[in-house]
């Protein structure tokens, strides 16, 4: 298995791409703030899952990178809330992205709580 096969990665990638598409219509004055922030955090979810998977030989590193991913996922949720409040996305788009974002968070937390199911071997 490769990290791209992980459900959390696949769903996270999907959300990041949908956010990328949604942010194309954000105002140009948000280019270096909200647009950049939400794109970075949503992409970082997947990057941290990939790093975690590569570090699964070290249980603490695996969990640490997944908690980083979970934090980035929470940051993405916050930026979605700002995008809605600023009326850059409508309620339907917010609900769709927020629901998917929550699902990604649950998948990440499942990985954190069940590291052995992802090839982590506790050497103790």
Domain boundaries, the chain: 3-116
For residue 124, name the pLDDT band (cuts at 50, 70, 90): low
Indicate the pTM of the whole model. Answer: 0.94
Give yes or no for a contact between 69 and 11, defined as CB atoms under 8 angstroms apart: no
Fold observed for domain 3-116: de novo design (two linked rop proteins) (1.20.1440)
Interval 74-121: pLDDT, tens: 999 999 999 999 999 999 999 999 999 999 999 999 999 999 999 898
The 10 Å Cβ neighbour count of residue 114 is 10
Structure tokens at 47: 């990057």
- Answer yes or no: are the C-beta atoms of 55 and 61 closer than 8 Å: yes
- Digit-coded pLDDT (tens) for 19-66: 999 999 999 999 999 999 999 999 999 999 999 999 999 999 999 999
- Give the total residue count for the chain: 124
């Amino acid at each position: 298995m490769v990290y791209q096969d992980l459900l959390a990665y696949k769903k996270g990638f999907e959300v990041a791409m949908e956010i990328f598409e949604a942010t194309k219509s954000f105002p140009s004055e948000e280019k270096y703030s909200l647009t950049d922030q939400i794109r970075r955090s949503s992409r970082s979810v997947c990057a941290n899952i990939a790093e975690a998977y590569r570090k699964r030989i070290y249980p603490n590193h695996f969990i640490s990178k997944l908690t980083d991913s979970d934090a980035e996922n929470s940051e993405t949720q916050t930026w979605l809330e700002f995008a809605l409040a600023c009326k850059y996305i409508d309620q339907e788009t917010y609900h769709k992205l927020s629901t998917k974002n929550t699902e990604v968070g649950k998948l990440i937390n499942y990985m954190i709580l069940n590291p052995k199911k992802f090839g982590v071997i506790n050497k103790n």
